[in-house]
């Protein structure tokens, strides 16, 4: 159990830092294995963000609307995958965001 706790804690901390670096805001997860992340800074609604991300990068995320949220600004990012996969996914997500972010 201790090893699993350390692994998930490491993944959570990595993902929170990577999301911050990508310019996204989020709610810190309590006991969940996902981070509820705001993608409104990209200029896309969450369903469009998730579909575009999947088509262009092969990374699958889910809009919060799939979980009963009426607000289309949020996605859920799980950190159940191994750290190396999370790092690759965040590399792809960051590139997608950089390509599509609305410039102010």
pLDDT tens, 3-56?
Answer: 998 999 999 999 999 999 999 999 989 888 999 999 999 999 999 999 999 999
pLDDT confidence band for 81 (50 / 70 / 90): very high
Q: pTM of the full predicted structure?
A: 0.91
What was the pLDDT predicted at 102?
Answer: 75
Residue range 7-19, pLDDT digits in tens:
999 999 999 999 9
Tokens of 57: 């990068």
Q: Which CATH class is domain 2-100?
A: alpha beta
Question: What residues does each domain of the chain span?
Answer: 2-100
CA 66 to chain centre: 15
């Amino acid at each position: 159990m201790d090893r699993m706790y350390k692994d998930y804690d490491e993944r959570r901390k990595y993902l929170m830092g990577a999301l911050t670096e990508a310019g996204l805001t989020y709610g810190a997860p309590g006991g969940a294995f996902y981070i509820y992340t705001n993608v409104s800074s990209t200029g896309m609604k969450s369903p469009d963000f998730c579909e575009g991300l999947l088509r262009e990068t092969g990374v699958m995320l889910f809009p919060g609307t799939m979980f009963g949220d009426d607000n289309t600004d949020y996605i859920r990012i799980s950190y159940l995958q191994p750290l190396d996969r999370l790092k690759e996914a965040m590399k792809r997500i960051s590139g997608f965001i950089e390509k599509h972010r609305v410039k102010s």
